[in-house]
A and B are shown apart, each in its own frame.
Chain A
């Protein structure tokens, strides 16, 4: 079947028009450059004469000489001016030619495409028009708003938003990045080296730190949302769940973050949470990079919580004050072994090859009490990043054949929760008393393992 973007007769006229438009633009640009050069020359001349004319206000009628004085040298004081940009209507989707499908996510489909005018390769992400009862999907609006605000080297760049013939066809144009960490890891024979994990983690946390400083929570950090290009640069993507941090105590939905990366307070039904949920996900991703497989792949909410308790130990009032007051905590029946000390985290045993600093960092990230987790800013200063082995420079990263560039993805992993999914743990009492049953033997054998056969 011919691609739906393939040229037909009607497109030819459109192409011609666009071409003309582009030439016009080029001409304007040239004229502008010339005008700017003239303006610069005029400015230099004015400065030589040491004329103390006051700065001109922003010129509001078009004239051949572009504003030269407005950039701010007035007679007596320097005045700062910030460039803010402008707006213009969306371009049409037929400026792009689709090359291949990459992925269908919870939010819409993504494909690789080429901008016809510039031959630049981009990723197109089509907005799914669900829940039309509320008009344009708020998740898409938020994602666009966040991406426009979050310009950072570790966050995927939103170039523009284009529309189709019908206004129900809205497509985000983003920079194309060859890999996502999940698919990449599935195809690698060996896990990333310690130095590589460090570089990836540091880039990830820089991006997260930038978001948090700009009052944005990502709320769906996971390896399939983390992209890596062939120059070793990591970028965060998929802001469909992201939100600006609301004023304190404003209720939020706990139906966020893909199950395997979801923080315990969310599983326990809190509605007042903040950036700590992202730090938990960072911890899960850290573990996954080391193991080359998901750290806490729960089958459902209960199983996820069981896996968390098994890895991180059980929470109590001392380690996590207020834990029992969380909505879903009441229905938990935790093992009440008052005789010995409570089972603690087994992160050390799970990661025998990780340095002590690394274990320390991971343990902090996977702290059940949200207060115990480091902020992204704290984490960047952690000794783990400065101790040997040093982080590998991104340029030294190996390159991999790109799946996204060639073929479809195969394996499925769970998606972020959808609107309308039932929150909570099903109401019934959930028995966790058995989860540490086999642990005695496990712990004895820790440290190293003999592989048989």
Chain B
């Protein structure tokens, strides 16, 4: 049977229980921090490569799927930045907007020069120094072969299942079905809806791996309508889109919690870099160990 265009691959219960990283002794909070930073990195690289959000979203989902489950990739073995680059390269390759390995390597080299994960980007642009992120031909050769290797690793871990069904177009269809576009605030409503769907990509609760596109779209619309004061029907309209009240409530809370999580992450890492390579992860583990020993 053919998969429904309304359905997306979902992580199994077993996959959500543990991960390759946790089996290798990486603490859960560090794993969450890295996954969040890695998803943001993918988004940033995608924007710099001028890829459409749909392709970037697909890359982030591939990136997130990679780390899930006992048979998923481990942060002790693969660097998050490498897997991010591999996911983006793969997602772009399958789209109508393929990007060359050179472009990918360049963009990630540039992003790597940002001194801290949650740096002030305004200031960064002012201090832009191209020499810092120049990739010499020799370095490029090496990074390209790493990129191709990561691509294969992702394909293997995901069993070549690269299909991703996204909630964006569905959200527009739903807004139309609700006649929301007659409202003067419709543009803001649609924008906020998409903003919430974009934050769902970064959710530490892995909302896009555990919930289907129709419910995600419905929850994002519900939340956006509340924020923009657009009046939606007074009845339980979400049931039309196959969402029940409990799931809607869960997703609304889940979507809102991304901001809290992001703020906490920013405070936690302050002006440090979230470790996105295997060496950095090892260094962070050592640091934590000596910190614990010192107490």
Contact A161 B160, CB 8 Å, known A81-B212, A86-B11: yes
Residue from B13, B65, B90, B93 with most neighbouring chain A CB atoms (10 Å):
B13
In the bound complex, CA of A163 to CA of B6 (Å): 30
> A136–B155 contact, CB under 8 A?
yes
- Whether, in the assembled complex, A438 has its beta carbon less than 8 Å from a beta carbon of chain B, the answer is no
- Whether, in the assembled complex, A167 has its beta carbon less than 8 Å from a beta carbon of chain B, the answer is yes
- Whether, in the assembled complex, B7 has its beta carbon less than 8 Å from a beta carbon of chain A, the answer is yes
> B96–A250 contact, CB under 8 A?
yes
> A145–B10 contact, CB under 8 A?
no
Number of interface residues of B (CB under 8 A): 54
> A87–B242 contact, CB under 8 A?
no
A76 contact from B156, B160, B239, Cβ within 8 A: B239
Residue from A57, A214, A250 with most neighbouring chain B CB atoms (10 Å):
A57
Within 8 A of A (CB), among B199-247: 210-212, 236, 239, 242-247
- Whether, in the assembled complex, A412 has its beta carbon less than 8 Å from a beta carbon of chain B, the answer is no
Give the secondary structure class of A's interface.
Answer: loop
Interface string of A120-138 (1 = CB under 8 A from B): 0000000000001111101
- Whether, in the assembled complex, B283 has its beta carbon less than 8 Å from a beta carbon of chain A, the answer is no
Q: B250: which A residues are within 8 A, CB to CB?
A: 57
- Whether, in the assembled complex, B56 has its beta carbon less than 8 Å from a beta carbon of chain A, the answer is no
- Whether, in the assembled complex, B16 has its beta carbon less than 8 Å from a beta carbon of chain A, the answer is yes
> A90–B160 contact, CB under 8 A?
yes
> A85–B244 contact, CB under 8 A?
no
> B6–A82 contact, CB under 8 A?
yes
Contact A61 B13, CB 8 Å, known A82-B4, A141-B93: yes
Nearest chain A CB to B207 CB, angstrom units: 11
> A86–B12 contact, CB under 8 A?
yes
Which stretch in B29-37, B118-126, B144-152, B173-181 binds the other chain?
Answer: B144-152
Can you list 20 contacts pairing A with B, beta carbon distance less than 8 Å? A54-B244, A58-B210, A60-B210, A61-B13, A62-B13, A74-B244, A76-B239, A82-B212, A85-B9, A85-B161, A135-B101, A135-B151, A136-B151, A138-B93, A141-B94, A149-B163, A150-B2, A151-B1, A160-B159, A214-B2
Q: B159: which A residues are within 8 A, CB to CB?
A: 87-90, 160-161
Within 8 A of B (CB), among A395-432: none
Contact A136 B148, CB 8 Å, known A84-B9, A86-B10: yes
Return the chain B residue nearest A80 by Cβ.
Answer: B242
> A246–B242 contact, CB under 8 A?
no
Within 8 A of A (CB), among B240-275: 242-247, 250
Q: A341: which B residues are within 8 A, CB to CB?
A: none
- Whether, in the assembled complex, A184 has its beta carbon less than 8 Å from a beta carbon of chain B, the answer is no
B101 contact from A79, A80, A134, A144, Cβ within 8 A: A134
In the bound complex, CA of A81 to CA of B247 (Å): 12
A84 contact from B4, B94, B153, B156, Cβ within 8 A: B4
> B3–A85 contact, CB under 8 A?
yes
- Whether, in the assembled complex, B117 has its beta carbon less than 8 Å from a beta carbon of chain A, the answer is no
Q: What 3 pairs across the A-B complex have the smallest Cβ distances?
A: A84-B7, A82-B7, A87-B161
Return the chain A residue nearest B68 by Cβ.
Answer: A87
In the bound complex, CA of A132 to CA of B212 (Å): 36
> B152–A86 contact, CB under 8 A?
no
In the bound complex, CA of A135 to CA of B94 (Å): 12
> A135–B9 contact, CB under 8 A?
no
> A61–B17 contact, CB under 8 A?
yes
> B147–A59 contact, CB under 8 A?
no
Residues on B facing A (Cβ under 8 Å): 1-4, 6-17, 65, 69, 71, 89-90, 93-94, 96, 98, 101, 147-149, 151-153, 155-163, 165, 210-212, 236, 239, 242-247, 250
> B244–A77 contact, CB under 8 A?
yes
Interface string of A146-169 (1 = CB under 8 A from B): 001111100000001101000110
Contact A84 B3, CB 8 Å, known A135-B148, A138-B93, A149-B163: yes
> B94–A145 contact, CB under 8 A?
yes
> B9–A87 contact, CB under 8 A?
yes
Contact A89 B163, CB 8 Å, known A57-B250, A60-B13: no
Residue from A80, A132, A135, A250 with most neighbouring chain B CB atoms (10 Å):
A135
- Whether, in the assembled complex, A378 has its beta carbon less than 8 Å from a beta carbon of chain B, the answer is no
A60 contact from B3, B16, B93, B149, Cβ within 8 A: B16
> B239–A84 contact, CB under 8 A?
no
Residue from A86, A136, A163, A168 with most neighbouring chain B CB atoms (10 Å):
A86
- Whether, in the assembled complex, A392 has its beta carbon less than 8 Å from a beta carbon of chain B, the answer is no
In the bound complex, CA of A61 to CA of B13 (Å): 6
> B247–A57 contact, CB under 8 A?
yes
> B13–A59 contact, CB under 8 A?
yes
Return the chain B residue nearest A58 by Cβ.
Answer: B210
> B3–A76 contact, CB under 8 A?
no
Return the chain B residue nearest A167 by Cβ.
Answer: B152
Nearest chain A CB to B29 CB, angstrom units: 19
Contact A76 B89, CB 8 Å, known A55-B246, A136-B155: no
A87 contact from B2, B65, B90, B153, Cβ within 8 A: B65
Nearest chain B CB to A41 CB, angstrom units: 21
In the bound complex, CA of A324 to CA of B242 (Å): 53
A247 contact from B96, B149, B157, B162, Cβ within 8 A: B96
- Whether, in the assembled complex, A350 has its beta carbon less than 8 Å from a beta carbon of chain B, the answer is no
B156 contact from A61, A90, A148, Cβ within 8 A: A90
In the bound complex, CA of A313 to CA of B101 (Å): 48
In the bound complex, CA of A453 to CA of B92 (Å): 64
Nearest chain A CB to B68 CB, angstrom units: 9
Known: A54-B244, A135-B148. 4 other contacts (CB 8 A): A61-B17, A138-B94, A141-B90, A141-B94
Return the chain A residue nearest B205 by Cβ.
Answer: A60
> B2–A151 contact, CB under 8 A?
yes
In the bound complex, CA of A450 to CA of B71 (Å): 71
Nearest chain A CB to B97 CB, angstrom units: 11
Q: A348: which B residues are within 8 A, CB to CB?
A: none
